[in-house]
Chain A
Amino acid sequence: MNSSSSLSLSRRGLLTMAGVGLASTVFPRKIFAQAGGGVLVIASGQDIPNFDPHTATGYSASFFMRNVYDPLVRVSGNPPEPQPGLAESWEVNEDGTEFTFKLNPAAKFHSGNPVTADDVVYSFGRSLKLAKGNSWMIRDIVTPEGVTAVDPATVKFSLTAPYAPFLQVLPWIFIVEKAAVEENLGSNDGETYLMTNTAGSGPFNVARVEIGTLYHLARAPEAWQAGGGNLDGVVWQIVRETATQRLMIERGEAHIAVDLTSEDMDSLEGAPGLVRVIEPEYRTFSIKMNTENGPCADVNLRKAISYATNYEAILDAAGYADLMIGPLPHGILGHDPELEVYRMDLDKAKEYMAKTETPEGGFTLKMMHVSGLEQQRRWALIMLDSLKQLNINLEIVPMNWPDMVAACRSPETFPDMFPVYQTANYGDTDNIAYAAYHSSRNGNWQNAVYSDPDTDALIETARTEIDPEKRVEIYGELQRKLVEDAPDIFGVLERRKLAMRETVQDYQFTPVASNAIEAWPLSLG
């Protein structure tokens, strides 16, 4: 490492990197020699909270589940496409209410027992009963009675209503071995047991755990999945500093780093032996306005603000990102790249300002942001500057995240402006649309206050419509409606930034859960 070139970094980052560099000088690069040719090391900042596929949340947990457990259907590609998982094939009835899955006869659990329809029924029942983790994705659509074992290798789902995103949701509901869990039920449906034990059928199983430090998954001897890469194992190593992750990837101590910043990516440009993955994913970052209470309840003021916002400055502050065109992320089903959206236009801003009760401005709005998050702070300053042109003052309040979440509980406590990231947890428009704009989410931070019956109706119709073309039409209407309502300042789509060694082969980017990497298809060259 050339220290003079690093001096532009923060002092902390410099030190951190220096140390890791050192670690590898002191402990020569026998890491991979010792671990065998095929152990992939992923550096990540997030610990894996627990191993239970029906309660754990977060991208680290998703990584764990995707590799240790199997869902009926996997997802890969861009746009994300459902692929066979435990189910080798499936059929849908005409109105989209009945799905029948044929299980792969080769599929077996780590215990050696085959995966049967009973296990699938049990897993969905358990997920719904616990009502934690990813169960919200199937809530109200799948009922315990609606999942039945037709025969040991066939499962039938009778949905409560047609549900277009069903196949996109399935990759996130994982199948546990019924017998293994039932032997260890305890008083809480096996939650205690599965917290630290596994009952899965995935290509890997837990080999070594050091809580807060590393999770080593080794290829299961009975892995039944066809194809796949040459990995003997994969290590999820907790590295809290992104600068440290960056140096590890540079020095070859990790194969993939998942939490890098734009600055890290810049400095990795042209680094030998490295591949930078900078791809748009389904993750929006916008500023929500209080549509129910305070000055922003006036749609004309929201439009005035939307026109006064300096979008170029917002984009600059975001690093590797694209400006949003409307409420939906680029590339997702139904997104309209031709949509007419707000761009900075002071004349129009003043025009709408004139329609409000306070055409001359002269009042103060309040914007919260997470304290310590530099990008959010910069955005707040940009808004401060933008609003000055309408003679509106902005009070910027840095807060802890739990306090901000609490503020979302009612329109009275919700600030006038609230910046928020929204990630698609499954690869369908319904996820973003529902979470961000459906009134049933009011009180939660993803959509604290915005509530509109027409919007609700559009979102509900789109999720029960199974003809993709008709869905595109409905989502088109939804986007125009939301631009008209202007509940948010549509901000940016930050690109996913991953760095990996060139030796990692067969990696394919998917715009959902792209930092919860599925290791099975990968190889080390």
Chain B
Amino acid sequence: MLQFIVRRVLLLIPVLIGLTVIMFAIARILPGDPVSLAAGPNATQAEIEALAVEFGLDQPIWVQYGQYVSGLMQGDLGTSLLTRRPVAADIAAYLPATLELVFAAMAIAVLIGIPLGLVTAVWRNRWPDYLSQVAAIGAISMPRFFLGLLLQLCFAMWLAWLPLGGRLPIIVIPPPSVTGFLTIDSLIAGDWTAFTTALSHLAMPAIAMSLSPLATIMRMMRSSTIEVMQQDYVMTARALGLPRRQIITKYVARNAVSATLTVIGLYFGWLLGGTVLVETVFDWPGLGLYATKAIISQDMMPVIGVALVIGLLFVFANLVIDLLYGVINPKVRYS
């Protein structure tokens, strides 16, 4: 197992190299002149050139790449051309908000999607099944940002239950940062007001992001449950007269979840990459907003940094999922 983990972590290296190479290539291909833009309208030609030298942009692309990689080894993700802030510090500031959103969305999707899939499989071809199938198709095909707008209309305007955007209103002093997740930090600090406020801000964007994975997880869970229920051992258990509830919880659910895990892993990356629109709709100060701003001004270091971090998290998420297979089904061997 340890060998498996080591191998998977080593596999990260080519993935990251690939990501950096692609991002550098894109930066080179793109038209536009980020240096002039960053230097400002009043910069002289000499100043623009000095800025290019300062950021190493006068060097051939492979030299720039080499410098970037050697910085990367020391945890340096470069400096934003536009704000002159270190990218690593920016990402550290923005990442927790995005992760909180992604984890919350994932939690909703898993906690509702898996039981719902199980239920619809058991009640196959009856009305709850049909109803949830139709709802699932709707949820999968609905764009997230549009769903976000609909939620705002419903829960913010008509029902007046939830705030529209942001993470906390300015009157609420955020709890001391431990995890960077406002909900968890406020629990740690024992600050209930901050917790409920943070939760109310988190609810809508998390729901908007969760619906599509929820529906997919549900459908996946349903079909794998149906498949498992037709296996010989389930038939045997039934023939032996084991209680239906016991068969489903003990034998069927476990096996069906393994297949669904893969989908969950893939969705983690999908959610990370897809926060841009939802964060914009909800004014959520996360990586998505940060990346959008950088992309618009062709500030490549932040863009590469965000792509790397998302890629890294994606690979880790899948590693965790792979390890979970073994936890859920001891028959899985890592070799």
Contacts and interface: CB of A to CB of B under 8 A. Distances in A.
Contacts of B93: 211-212
Nearest to A136: B42
Interface string B76-97: 0000001111000010011000
Contact of B37 (A19, A55, A137, A405): A405
B11 to A, nearest CB: 33
Interface residues of A, number: 63
A195 B37 contact: no
A425 B42 contact: yes
Contacts of A11: 149
B50 A131 contact: yes
B285 A23 contact: no
Contact of A41 (B44, B90, B170): B170
B170 A435 contact: no
Interface in A1-55: 3, 11-12, 14-16, 18-23, 25-27, 30-31, 34-35, 41, 49-50, 52, 55
Interface stretch (B101-109, B159-167, B323-331): B159-167
Contact of A26 (B90, B161, B165, B285): B161
B152 A15 contact: yes
B164 A213 contact: no
B32 A244 contact: no
A402 B297 contact: yes
Interface of B: 31-34, 36-37, 40-45, 47, 50, 82-85, 90, 93-94, 149, 152-153, 156-157, 160-167, 169-174, 197, 200, 280, 283, 285, 289-290, 296-298
A446 interface: yes
* Top 10 closest pairs, chain A to chain B, by CB: A19-B164, A18-B157, A402-B32, A406-B33, A23-B163, A19-B156, A49-B83, A212-B285, A136-B42, A22-B156
A241 B283 contact: yes
A237 B166 CA distance: 11
A197 interface: no
B85 A244 contact: no
Nearest to A32: B171
A406 to B, nearest CB: 3
Contacts of B157: 3, 14-15, 18-19, 21-22
Contacts of A16: 152, 164-165
B160 A443 contact: no
B284 to A, nearest CB: 10
A256 interface: no
Contacts, number: 155
A57 interface: yes
Contact of A131 (B47, B165, B296): B47
A507 interface: no
Contacts of A465: none
A445 interface: yes
Given A22-B160, A211-B285, A240-B280, 9 more contacts: A15-B153, A31-B169, A49-B83, A213-B285, A235-B170, A238-B285, A400-B298, A406-B32, A409-B36
15 contacts: A15-B149, A19-B157, A19-B164, A20-B164, A20-B165, A22-B162, A22-B163, A25-B160, A49-B83, A210-B285, A239-B283, A240-B280, A400-B298, A402-B34, A405-B32
A27 B169 contact: yes
A27 B197 contact: yes
A403 B31 contact: yes
Contact of B41 (A41, A132, A435): A435
Contacts of A3: 157
Contacts of B50: 131
A132 B42 CA distance: 10
A509 B51 CA distance: 35
B32 A444 contact: no
B160 to A, nearest CB: 5
Contacts of B161: 22, 26
